[in-house]
C-alpha cells in the first residue's frame, strides 16, 4: 500500500506544522479509525503507523506525509530549473 503517490496534490507539503499540531489535528480522525478497527485509542503508535511487513497497520501519519511531500516538491522544483528552483 503506497499512499504517498496520490495523483492529487494537497496543500500539506506547502506548509510547516509541528509534530504536536499534526497530532492534535489528526487525533479525532485517528480515534475514530481505531474505534472502527476495534482497537484501543491508546494502541502504540508504532503499531498504528508501522508498515505491514513489521506487523503494523500502515495508516498515514500527517507529520510524515507532510515531510515526504516537502522533499518531493523540493526535488521536483530543483529539476525544473525555473525561478522557484533558483530561489531554492
- Mind listing the pLDDT tens digit for each residue in 42-84? 888 888 888 889 988 888 888 998 999 888 888 888 888 778 7
Which band of pLDDT confidence, cut at 50, 70 and 90, is reported for residue 10? low
Which band of pLDDT confidence, cut at 50, 70 and 90, is reported for residue 2? very low
The mean pLDDT of 28-48, rounded to a whole number, is: 89
CA distances from 42 to 35, 50, 75, 86 (A): 11, 15, 36, 46
73 neighbors 14 (Cβ within 8 angstroms): yes
Amino acid at each position: 500500500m503506497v499512499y504517498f503517490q496520490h495523483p492529487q496534490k494537497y496543500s500539506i507539503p506547502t506548509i510547516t506544522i509541528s509534530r504536536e499540531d499534526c497530532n492534535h489535528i489528526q487525533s479525532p480522525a485517528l480515534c475514530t479509525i481505531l474505534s472502527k478497527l476495534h482497537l484501543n485509542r491508546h494502541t502504540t503508535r508504532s503499531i498504528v503507523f508501522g508498515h505491514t511487513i513489521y506487523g503494523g497497520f500502515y495508516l498515514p501519519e500527517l507529520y510524515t506525509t507532510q515531510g515526504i511531500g516537502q522533499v518531493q516538491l523540493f526535488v521536483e522544483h530543483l529539476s525544473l530549473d525555473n525561478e522557484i528552483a533558483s530561489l531554492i
